[in-house]
Amino acid sequence: MKKIEKVCVIGGGQMGKQIALNAAIHGFKVKITDAIPAVCEALQPWVAEYLTGRIAKGKMAEGDCKAALEHFSVTSSLADAAADADLVVEAIIENKEVKERLFKDLNTLAPKDAIIGTNSSFMVSSIFADCLDNPARLANLHFFNPALVMKLVEVVQGPHTSEDTVQALMDFARRNGKTPIWVRKEAEGFVANRILRAVGTEAMYIAEQGIATPQEIDIAVENGLNYPLGPFRMQDFTGIDIAYDTRKREYEKTGVKPIGYDLLEEKVKRGEFGKKSGKGWYDYSK
């Protein structure tokens, strides 16, 4: 099994920066890159602010924070980020063509035996198998938001993925303080999000039918079922635009309008994407 020490994270957005910092905190040597220079420039200050906060709250010792800072580096060059990586984690925007281009670049820029994990929520890694000469090293490595906090990591084996790759990724996740599961077959939504989806669809249906408002449904789920977050509050966190895009793809594929489609479309048209835009099912502007 390949032992992972050097990690390259591609994409410095919501997920990538937290995956990268989590790995740096756990002693991995991390290089992170993003296509947008301003995103790259904001990464070191974000890390410094996060770590300072951890010290102030007594959650991390000063020495550990210093070590994490030393392990975390930013580069605007993909070639530089990937050159000596044992593992490349792809965490860029959820767009098939953009990801495809990246995997083709990685085929030449990353070491031939580097493991490649995609953090995509919805695209199984076999879609990208043809981009690599050796797809046995490719799998989904699916973190949950916020990646610094959430314990679950899904390692999803495609028909092309070797068991060695699965084991190396499971080991990497454990050494990141995570609890990984081995998902043995590719399936849309993997495991946890499928269950979440079923609950979310029912919640959307209840709202669509006017049985209760989204906020009342959250109250029911949080107080009656003891979920830490109701489905609508959760959607504000993960992005209403992402929930809409998934349903839009499904609608285009099947011709059947998914439950909740109109409600989500209305939100997206108003630019209410959830927490990241300041408003979703709840108002975060105050």
Ligand X SMILES: NC(=O)c1ccc[n+]([C@@H]2O[C@H](COP(=O)([O-])OP(=O)(O)OC[C@H]3O[C@@H](n4cnc5c(N)ncnc54)[C@H](O)[C@@H]3O)[C@@H](O)[C@H]2O)c1
Binding track, positions 65-104, relative to ligand X; x by CB under 6 A: --------------------------xxxx---x---x--
For ligand X, give the closer residue by CB, 173 or 206. 173
For ligand X, give the closer residue by CB, 35 or 127. 35
- DSSP structure class, residue 133: S
Place of tokens 């984690």: 89
Which one is catalytic: 71, 120, 140, 154? 154
Residue type (1 letter), 61: A
Provide the pairing of β-strand 72-74 with 138-143.
unpaired
- DSSP structure class, residue 86: S
Which one is catalytic: 140, 142, 272, 277? 142
Q: How far, in Å, CA of 86 to CA of 3, rounded?
A: 8
Task: State which H helix or E strand residue 141 sits in.
Answer: strand 138-143
The nearest distance, CB 183 to ligand X, in angstroms, is 14
Site for ligand X in 97-156 (CB under 6 A): 98, 102, 119-121, 143, 145
For ligand X, give the closer residue by CB, 145 or 162. 145
Contacting ligand X (CB under 6 A), which of 7, 15, 25, 114?
15
Map residue 230 onto helix, strand or coil. coil
For ligand X, give the closer residue by CB, 94 or 216. 94
> Is residue 154 annotated as a catalytic residue, yes or no?
yes
Cα 229 from chain centre: 18
Residue type (1 letter), 228: P
Residues recognised as catalytic: 121, 142, 154, 193
